[in-house]
Structure 1
Amino acid sequence: MTPDTFDALRGQLLDAARTFAPTTGTAADASDALAGILSGIVDDVDRALAEELEIFPVCHHSPASALAMVRRLREKQPKVVYLELCEDLRPLLDELRNCRLPVALQAFASDLDGFPPGVGPLSVVAPITEASAEYQAIAYALDTPGVELVLVDRSTDHVFQWLPDEPAESARPAPSDGDTDANADIAERAEEAALHGDAVGIEIGDLRPRFAELEAHLLHHGKVRHWSEWWDQYVEQPLTGADYDAYRQVMVLIGSLFRRLRPSEDERVSRDEERERYMWTRMREHLAASGADPADCLYVCGAYHAASRVEQFGLASDAPYEISPRTGTRWLYGLIPSSHSAIEAQFGLASGSVSIAAATWSKAVTRFRDTPFRLDGQKGTAKRAKRAALPPPSTPAPPVADRLSGFLSSPPALDGLDEAELLGWCVDIVRLARRNGYLASTADAIAVFETSVLLAGMRNRARPTPYDFQDAAVTCIEKDVVPGRRDVRHLCEILLGGDRIGQVGYEALPPLARDVYDRLAPLGVDLEKRTLQRALLDLNANPELTGCSDLLWILRRLLPEDAVRPIMGERRLGERSIQESWDLAIGRHQRSIIELGYEAITVEQVLEQRLRRTVWDPKATAAVALGAVEDAVLYLGGSRFAAELGARAVELLSAERTVDDAPEVLRRIRRLLAYYRATEPALPEWCEAFVTAGYAHYCTLLPTAFVDEETGVRQVAAMLGFLFSMESLALALGCDRAQLELAVLQSHPEAPAKVALLWAARSQLGLLPMAELRERCDGLLANPLVVPSFPMYLSGFVQALEPAPALAPFVVELLSKAFARLPDAVLLPWLPKLITTLRDQAGELVPVLVREAGRTFPAALPALDAFVPPWLGRPSGAAKARPGVAPVGGPVAELLAGHRAACDAVAALLGCDGGWQEIAGGDPGEAGALLARHPETATAVAALLGR
């Protein structure tokens, strides 16, 4: 290229800057700045195209860039292709032939070394689509003998080294520039849009203004809604059929324009320049090591980087640059499925823009009869034509002429209206809309056609674009409501190509994912399908499916909730289903399974590692550790590993200074003890240690928990529940009951609910007789000053059923008295609180109260009128017993007389001898004397039997 190639264009731009700007004051300074920018843009284009190493500027997911790449590769046939992509992703490119595009290259790290704590896990993705220049370069290099593909961008480790201090913030997907109010089908597409998760996206050629005012200006004057539409109209369509020189010059021009107009405070400026220094250093190192001729090389990078002005730019530069070392983090690599919507969400593109780009690519390939490159064995939905043989290498191209002047000064070529194409769109969208519940007709098809032409004319387009057609369809077909799940805008995207979702082939999967597919093969379902599939397992008839069942339960624990969902069957401690039914969506969650492969070789190892990390986390609690023990028993079945986790649970319990998790601890340890007692000859050592440690721990904290205002009644009740329910085992293991008695005696709560709980605990220990407890409660009801707070006392007694279930009759008695005696002003506001308390905190205690109430109250409505509660004493008409003599009448005497054999047997067991008397009178004997000494017992038995 001659030095004066762009002198004429440079002069024209400077003259324009002087003509349209004043020459005095501040405006003159602005004119000089404008002239400097315009002249600098031309200098950037001249510099990039004059470089010895040919630079191919691209824009990500651009059909025009892909077409230009295909044509240039066939013409030049380079021996070395330098590609702007993370250099450590190179081994993954060979696996692309085993996948169905789009897919994403991924680097993942969870165990970080050299990064700030709390920022992991770290993930980088680089999506690849067929309608992209990078894929065409990759396919050419991998399938053409003698061609070397070299990735020259910074490594994934440097990606995070160069991010700001908040990498998680930078990893979030960019907000879409589309009209989000018009996108009604968010729920359906959210899953596909989230295929990349929160990974940092790597793209080749981010061409978008980093100056908000400039972008708004371009959108306004271009009469478009979002950036994707502006790019398609003013860059993509004009460059689709342009020759190579015009394409390069225009792309570098745009990259230079956006680069020079970026805000000076943009933090990405320094990172972009570091990347450019990195890439030029790597290319010079490779050329020096390989001895390749720069004339046989091609450097593929974003147009933004093609206009670089760093001192390391160009092969002639000898400016030094030292590449910083990587951290000690071990990165794992793989391929994950991607989709058009995931790419749009990752890089802030308008909804449907990538699908429209794919449709434009297919149409342009057919129109210009270009044969794109495609990896041998590449999976796809349609057969492709056999690749045409490469022509002989071309001779060196003549000096590049100034193509920018003509391109910028002449109006764009207006394509004529393709009525057949537009009519086909209009007919198809009406048909598709009717299938989705819209009342569309032929009149709507005509209206869409005319409106598309009208909108294109209003936007200075002779030929309606897919965006014009989409707006026209929404205007003419979508009325007030969306009848189904898909709105018209989404239907247009489906019509124009849809959201294509890629898939990683079996050969490209990590060992763990292949192991999952192999072990689930006996189920006979196609795990690669993205549809929901039902698997039925009869474990009695087909015991060989037990391994599949075990694996499904582990996947249920590791994967998202809807990936593996049991319909029938459950897995609990000591229980196994004999028949199971599963809904499987493994193909839809292939990414999650692949990322499991970054952690271990089998899912069992993944679960074991996660459980171990969970219990050794600094924030782990005893309840969390007990949950990990339960998961280890359920899914891994190993006593050794469960014992390791259990020992950690003992350590955590002893170190805790709060009792917030006491209810969860009690629930889990009870379940584990019941399981071990039913399945093992003896309790594991860690269970015994946990009981003894918990007994001492909760005894120590009990007095403080009773008076601490931040400790709830539920937590104190759970502590007492642990102490009382584990008491026999703890005493057998060497604990001292006096420790519990002292803890209770040292407790002096003031809150009514905790006072009631303390009374219940003392009653359970035998320190407070039942008669005295009843007397205290009756005194509370009789005290007008205490009546308003009596519901809180009652709530404490309800919670006391956890440590003292034998108090259920007394709690039923208190509830009955409260409902009978409390005034409405106190009772009615308290009832909703009672119900919510029982539901949220004592759900397992409600059945105890219900059963006790069922035994206490009459079962039939007619008996309710004559019912006398047991706590009110005998009916007035009953015969009174003489002191020391059993009653000769009444229900007790009738019950005993009617079942003399049973009574004689019980008396014999108790060592009582004596005869029977008739109801008319006589000596009661020893049996009568026994009943006389224990009238409450006889009355209670009679009440239980309905007498």
Structure 2
Amino acid sequence: MSPFGALREQLLDAATAFAGAPAALPGILAGLVDDVDRALAEPLEIFPVCHHSPASALAMVRRLREKQPKVIYLELCEDLRPLLPELRNCRLPVALQAFATDLDGFPPAWGPLSMVAPITEASAEYQAISYALETPGVELVLVDRSSDHVFQWAPKPETETEATGHGEEAALHGDSVGVEIGDLRPRFAELEEHLIHHGKVRHWSEWWDQYVEQPLAGADYDTYRQVMVLIGGLFRRLRPGGGDRPATDEDRERYMWTRIREHLAASGADPAECLHVCGAFHAASRVEQFGLASDAPYEISPRTATRWLYGLIPSSHSAIEAQFGLASGSVSIAAATWAKAVARGGVTPFRLAGRPDTRKRPARAGKAAPVPRTEVTDRLSGFLSTPPAVDELDEAELLGWSVDIVRLARRNGYLASTADAIAVFETSLLLAGIRDRARPTPYDFQDAAVTCIEKDVVPGRRDVRRLCEILLGGDRVGAVGYDSLPPLARDVYDRLAPLGLDTQKRTIQRALLDLGADPELVPCSDLLWMLRYLLPPDAVRPIMGGRRLGERSIQESWDLALGRHQRSLIELGYEGVTIEQVLEQRLRRAVWEPAATAAVALAAVEDALLFLGGKRFVDELGARAVELLAAERTVDDAPEVLRRIRRLLGYYRATGPVLPAWCEAFVSAGYAHYCTLLPTAFVDEDTGVRQVGAMLGFLFTMESLALALGCDRAQLELAVRQSHPEAPAKVALLWAAQSQLGVLPQAELRSRCDELLANPLVVPSFPLYITGFVQALEPAPGLAGFVVEVISKAFGRLPDSVLLPWLPKLITMLRDQAGELVPVLVREAGRTFPGTLAEVDAWVPPWSARPAPEASRDPVPAGPVTGLLVAHPSALDAVAELLGCEGEWQDLATDEPDDQEVRALLSAHPETAFAVSALLG
């Protein structure tokens, strides 16, 4: 006869009266009682828990001390078992992590795979782990699916974006998948909304604390067990049908019971001395594999060939809340509730020996004899029909909270006073009464503090709700001990030891390195720069000093926050044994990715020179850069390629007698590659003027080296001749290239620009030509004076209707696309324009026509200078040809008008003649 028969009849009568006709409600209510009956009748004792529940932890401690089981089956990923002893070296909360980067059997877009299982002291699983590890003769068996199966059973994403986002961004946990014991939350949205509304609470965490945690905190074990199974059965029966999640739940239950039966068969353990700790949702499973009496087979799929790495990472209350969708501050309140229950006495929790945050000697199970199994009695009827007992108000605790929150608020800039403390106290009582609560809860206290203290919101000030969370325990952050760190992390801490800092502290610490006075700190500097490259930006931040090719700082200053980013440092340990190995692997992986480009490979070469050195690895990356450049079919990265190869060539020329072979190959391949793509790039609308300018810059600035390496200049000349752009900016670039090749004299170039300014049909697009001329400074820096001349003429002749709308575009273009060219223009303008305000009125632009010389000036007689010019006319002929001047030589002995002009010119500018005379002696 079931002990719950009377309760089943009462529920069926109530359901019939409520529904008024046969419906699903009687079946649901009767099924809940059947679930409790089924779970409690199982020979293997099932302990239902809720994750991070103080009530579950308290019940677990009491039951372990009574039963003293010899085997504990725990719902946790079975491949995490070797990590559990390492919890002794950690400060909770921490998370057990499984990590995989080399995937075999999973979509590549999923990588890297990361799964975490957070552990807090106020949780039933930690108490079970501590009991098993600290009690001789107790075996702890993890029976949940492995980390590999977690991702095998995950629903396949339809898009790459969905694939890479396995979990919500959750602070210290990142995008890891979270695995927890006892996911007790309604999966039927309407049910959760109904419970929150009628419970007069704001969120699910508050409902759970009021209606489950507080009543069960002091309940006996039988009552706790029956209520948790009932709640788990309710949420299970009211979940939405279909979908992937229910199937996953049932697969987990089949997996666990299969593992339990396998272990019992192999070990011969007595089920009466075993305890199965699982989530209340799974306590009364309806799968055919449930229970020891079942012999239903279940085939567990093999793991994939993915290589999994395991470790411990820091966790925090806020990370757990964010990852599992809990209300902010709920885990901190749970920790405060647990600490309060332990302080009141009556229960001694289990703790692992040697933990950094363990002050007392760890409690053991003791020598008491196990309590025999008693007959199951109905405790649900009394629990459901009896209203909760009204506890006496813990006045001292609430007074302390009220006083402390006022003190904390004043420290954070609020004008709080003693009157506010009284108001918070009374308002907490009022809110608890309105919400039908036996005593004010931390949530009532939070609302009262916000109402009485936070009268307005000031930017940059902590809100009062956050101050309440700090007061009630704060966002506790765990840490992994040195002995539990991977070899790479320990190596980093050891190599940074000469700095004399505690790198595991979560505070930001300042490190000062005088590398000239203390050369022993040079290895620390090298390591910090590598960590700067591999870790998040705020983990290792340079304040003073830098590292560039050919440059090393004498003194450096760093802000170190390695303690805050311990998780990132630990995950580096999954990739290699040393920082140098991880950096080399990442650089090699970056250049061999399918989407890698020549610019990426050159950046990897530069990073390898900065951080690793070594000719072999750099030559390997450089050879890959040559391959990538030859295979590219676009020139989108031409500016980046030009900038980096220039810097690398300058570095090699300054540090060695010859260039590396890969540099020579890169220049030769780049010269032929860009000559081939130049005509297409000029006419392609998708190729910007900056990219074309960078191509020309590569071809002209690397021309001498390329010709020395065997390239043919005719290839460049043919490419320029085959280019026929139509866009004004690219036309200007082509003219500049022709001028640089000597095909287009500067006089003709100036004439073309003057014609454009004189043509009213072209004037609106003339600013685009200027854009091209500015970009032309990359391949032809000698045109800087001409570009200043063109811009000056544009400002002087363009109408306001064209000039004013164009100015913002010019400024934006110069800032975004030609930032490195602006100094060239500024220097040239400084040489061209007058330096003082007084000289402006008399200043005549050098490109303007000069006034005729005065006739009264005495001609300069023919002397050694003019004789030298007449004897060697080739130099002046070449200058005249470049300037576009035509004329014939006249005999200075005659008295012809041309002779007078020459003498007048020398008389007007005698400095030139004097300078030439001085050079000739």
The answer to whether the superposition gives a TM-score over 0.5 is: yes
Indicate the residue corresponding to 2:582 in structure 1: 606
Deviation at residue 651 of structure 1 after TM alignment: 0.8
Matches within 5 A, 1:572-721: 572-721=548-697
User: 1:221 aligned to 2:193?
Assistant: no
Counterpart CA distance in 2 for 1:597 and 1:503 is 16
Q: Alignment partner of 1:377: what SS? A: coil
User: 1:249 aligned to 2:247?
Assistant: no
Indicate the residue corresponding to 1:49 in structure 2: 40
Indicate the residue corresponding to 1:187 in structure 2: none
Counterpart CA distance in 2 for 1:140 and 1:413 is 32
Deviation at residue 405 of structure 1 after TM alignment: 0.7
Deviation at residue 888 of structure 1 after TM alignment: 3.0
1:122-168 CA deviation, whole Å, 9 max, x = no partner? 10000000000000000000010011100000000000000001297
Matches within 5 A, 1:178-257: 193-257=170-234
Which amino acid in the other structure matches residue 8 of structure 2?
R
Unaligned runs of 5+ in 1: 176-189, 898-902, 912-920
User: 8 Å contact 1:173–1:346 — kept in the other structure?
Assistant: no
Matches within 5 A, 1:135-214: 135-166=126-157, 169=162, 193-214=170-191
1:402-457 CA deviation, whole Å, 9 max, x = no partner? 10111111111121211111111101100110000001111111111111001100
Indicate the residue corresponding to 1:185 in structure 2: none
Aligned equivalent of 1:22, options 15, 20, 23: 20
Counterpart CA distance in 2 for 1:383 and 1:741 is 81
690-699 or 392-401: bigger deviation: 392-401
Aligned equivalent of 1:840, options 800, 803, 816: 816
Deviation at residue 876 of structure 1 after TM alignment: 3.2
User: 1:475 aligned to 2:447?
Assistant: no
Unaligned runs of 5+ in 2: 877-890, 916-921
Deviation at residue 395 of structure 1 after TM alignment: 3.6
Deviation at residue 266 of structure 1 after TM alignment: 3.9
Counterpart CA distance in 2 for 1:563 and 1:281 is 45
Matches within 5 A, 1:320-331: 320-331=297-308
1:273-310 CA deviation, whole Å, 9 max, x = no partner? 00000000001001111111111111000000101110
Aligned equivalent of 2:121, options 114, 122, 130: 130
Q: Alignment partner of 1:872: what SS? A: coil
Which amino acid in the other structure matches residue 246 of structure 2?
V
Matches within 5 A, 1:784-803: 784-803=760-779
Aligned equivalent of 2:860, options 888, 893, 897: 888
User: 8 Å contact 1:276–1:310 — kept in the other structure?
Assistant: yes
Indicate the residue corresponding to 1:723 in structure 2: 699
User: 8 Å contact 2:764–2:802 — kept in the other structure?
Assistant: yes
User: 1:40 aligned to 2:38?
Assistant: no
Counterpart CA distance in 2 for 1:417 and 1:56 is 32
Residues 122 and 168 of structure 1, relative CA distance in 2, 3 Å threshold: farther
User: 1:275 aligned to 2:252?
Assistant: yes
User: 1:90 aligned to 2:90?
Assistant: no
Indicate the residue corresponding to 1:313 in structure 2: 290
Counterpart CA distance in 1 for 2:46 and 2:462 is 44
Deviation at residue 242 of structure 1 after TM alignment: 0.6
User: 8 Å contact 2:314–2:566 — kept in the other structure?
Assistant: yes
Q: Alignment partner of 2:790: what SS? A: helix
Residues 867 and 284 of structure 1, relative CA distance in 2, 3 Å threshold: same
Aligned equivalent of 1:492, options 448, 451, 468: 468
Deviation at residue 922 of structure 1 after TM alignment: 9.5
471-480 or 13-22: bigger deviation: 13-22
Counterpart CA distance in 1 for 2:904 and 2:162 is 75
Indicate the residue corresponding to 2:426 in structure 1: 450
Counterpart CA distance in 2 for 1:939 and 1:106 is 83
Q: Alignment partner of 1:299: what SS? A: strand
Counterpart CA distance in 1 for 2:165 and 2:284 is 28
User: 8 Å contact 2:90–2:479 — kept in the other structure?
Assistant: yes
User: 8 Å contact 1:731–1:737 — kept in the other structure?
Assistant: yes
Residues 511 and 677 of structure 1, relative CA distance in 2, 3 Å threshold: same
Aligned equivalent of 1:115, options 106, 124, 128: 106
Counterpart CA distance in 2 for 1:881 and 1:298 is 118
Aligned equivalent of 1:739, options 699, 707, 715: 715
Matches within 5 A, 1:216-615: 216-380=193-357, 383-384=359-360, 387=363, 390-482=366-458, 484-615=460-591
Residues 785 and 17 of structure 1, relative CA distance in 2, 3 Å threshold: same
Counterpart CA distance in 1 for 2:710 and 2:728 is 34
Q: Alignment partner of 2:19: what SS? A: coil
Identity among equivalent positions (%) equals 79
Counterpart CA distance in 1 for 2:536 and 2:517 is 30
Deviation at residue 483 of structure 1 after TM alignment: 5.9
Counterpart CA distance in 2 for 1:387 and 1:942 is 100
Indicate the residue corresponding to 1:916 in structure 2: none
Q: Alignment partner of 1:107: what SS? A: strand
User: 8 Å contact 2:135–2:365 — kept in the other structure?
Assistant: no
Deviation at residue 482 of structure 1 after TM alignment: 3.3
Counterpart CA distance in 2 for 1:762 and 1:267 is 67
Counterpart CA distance in 1 for 2:405 and 2:687 is 63
Deviation at residue 391 of structure 1 after TM alignment: 3.8
Indicate the residue corresponding to 2:791 in structure 1: 815
Counterpart CA distance in 2 for 1:763 and 1:221 is 83
Q: Alignment partner of 2:172: what SS? A: coil
Aligned equivalent of 1:868, options 829, 832, 844: 844
Which amino acid in the other structure matches residue 665 of structure 1?
V
Counterpart CA distance in 1 for 2:863 and 2:735 is 36
Counterpart CA distance in 1 for 2:460 and 2:313 is 31
Deviation at residue 871 of structure 1 after TM alignment: 1.2
Indicate the residue corresponding to 2:881 in structure 1: none
User: 8 Å contact 2:679–2:724 — kept in the other structure?
Assistant: yes
Residues 71 and 751 of structure 1, relative CA distance in 2, 3 Å threshold: same
Deviation at residue 7 of structure 1 after TM alignment: 0.8
Indicate the residue corresponding to 2:919 in structure 1: none
User: 8 Å contact 1:171–1:201 — kept in the other structure?
Assistant: no
Counterpart CA distance in 2 for 1:141 and 1:22 is 52
Residues 563 and 747 of structure 1, relative CA distance in 2, 3 Å threshold: same
Residues 297 and 940 of structure 1, relative CA distance in 2, 3 Å threshold: farther
Deviation at residue 865 of structure 1 after TM alignment: 0.9
Counterpart CA distance in 1 for 2:856 and 2:83 is 95
User: 8 Å contact 2:311–2:486 — kept in the other structure?
Assistant: yes
User: 8 Å contact 2:53–2:123 — kept in the other structure?
Assistant: yes
Residues 148 and 170 of structure 1, relative CA distance in 2, 3 Å threshold: farther
TM-score (norm 1): 0.91
User: 8 Å contact 1:106–1:333 — kept in the other structure?
Assistant: yes
CA RMSD of aligned residues (A): 2.7
Residues 879 and 295 of structure 1, relative CA distance in 2, 3 Å threshold: farther
Counterpart CA distance in 2 for 1:172 and 1:55 is 35
Deviation at residue 677 of structure 1 after TM alignment: 0.6
1:501-520 CA deviation, whole Å, 9 max, x = no partner? 00000000000000000000
Counterpart CA distance in 2 for 1:341 and 1:934 is 88
Which amino acid in the other structure matches residue 664 of structure 1?
E
Residues 215 and 805 of structure 1, relative CA distance in 2, 3 Å threshold: same
User: 8 Å contact 1:89–1:333 — kept in the other structure?
Assistant: yes
Aligned equivalent of 1:106, options 97, 107, 128: 97
Which amino acid in the other structure matches residue 252 of structure 2?
R
Counterpart CA distance in 2 for 1:934 and 1:257 is 110
Counterpart CA distance in 2 for 1:880 and 1:225 is 100
Indicate the residue corresponding to 1:783 in structure 2: 759
